[in-house]
């Protein structure tokens, strides 16, 4: 029993060392409260409601923070996030019997900017970014359309998460 008591301080030192290793959760922002005005993105594609889907996804991500709120009004907001959907492309990747596509890739190209309204300082500016997700072309056309929408939903969520994390990083530096 005496031997175990000797190791307790050593174990505590190791525990505190590991606990203070500088780990930072990138999804948590602990700075001052901020309000973000998210504009409706310009949609230069023929894909209906794509701008609305991106807006809703961005709002869902920003709602994860207790310190950042989304505003529908520019007035009173600290930050403005604006973007544009430049293009969407669906090139075939592989072909099966009869030269029919079996796998397709969704390519979504966007640009966006996050700006501090009070100072006019640009916090994030991405002039062109392309997101890619592959999906299989199934037997029926409705199954293929569903797969395409699922691939697009993955891209939108990944894009929104990236913008959210970049925002937290920039605000943490301020």
Q: What token pair was written down for 147?
A: 């797969």
Share the mean pLDDT of the chain: 84
For residue 16, pLDDT beyond 80: no
pLDDT reported for residue 105: 87
Domain residues of the chain, as ranges?
31-173
**Top CATH class, 31-173:** alpha beta
Instruction: Give 102-144 as a DSSP string.
Output: EEEEEEEEEEEEEEETTT--EEEEEEEEEEEEEEE--SSHHHH
The model's pLDDT over 78-123, given as tens digits with 9 standing for 90+, comes to 999 999 999 999 875 555 555 555 678 899 999 999 999 999 999 9
């Amino acid at each position: 029993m005496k031997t175990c008591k000797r190791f307790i301080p050593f174990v505590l030192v190791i525990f505190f060392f590991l606990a203070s290793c500088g780990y930072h959760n990138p999804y948590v922002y602990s700075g001052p409260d901020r309000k973000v005005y998210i504009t409706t993105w310009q949609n230069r594609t023929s894909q209906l409601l794509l701008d609305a889907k991106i807006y809703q996804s961005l709002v869902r991500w920003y709602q994860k923070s207790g310190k950042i709120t989304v505003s529908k009004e520019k007035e009173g907001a600290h930050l403005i996030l604006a973007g544009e959907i430049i293009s969407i492309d669906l090139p075939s990747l592989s072909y099966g019997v009869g030269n029919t596509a079996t796998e397709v890739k969704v390519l979504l190209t966007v640009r966006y900017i996050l700006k501090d309204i009070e100072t006019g300082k640009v916090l994030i500016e991405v002039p062109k970014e392309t997101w890619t997700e592959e999906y299989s072309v199934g037997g029926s056309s409705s199954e293929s359309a569903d797969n395409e929408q699922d691939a697009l939903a993955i891209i939108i969520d990944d894009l929104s998460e990236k913008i959210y994390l970049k925002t937290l990083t920039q605000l943490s530096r301020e």
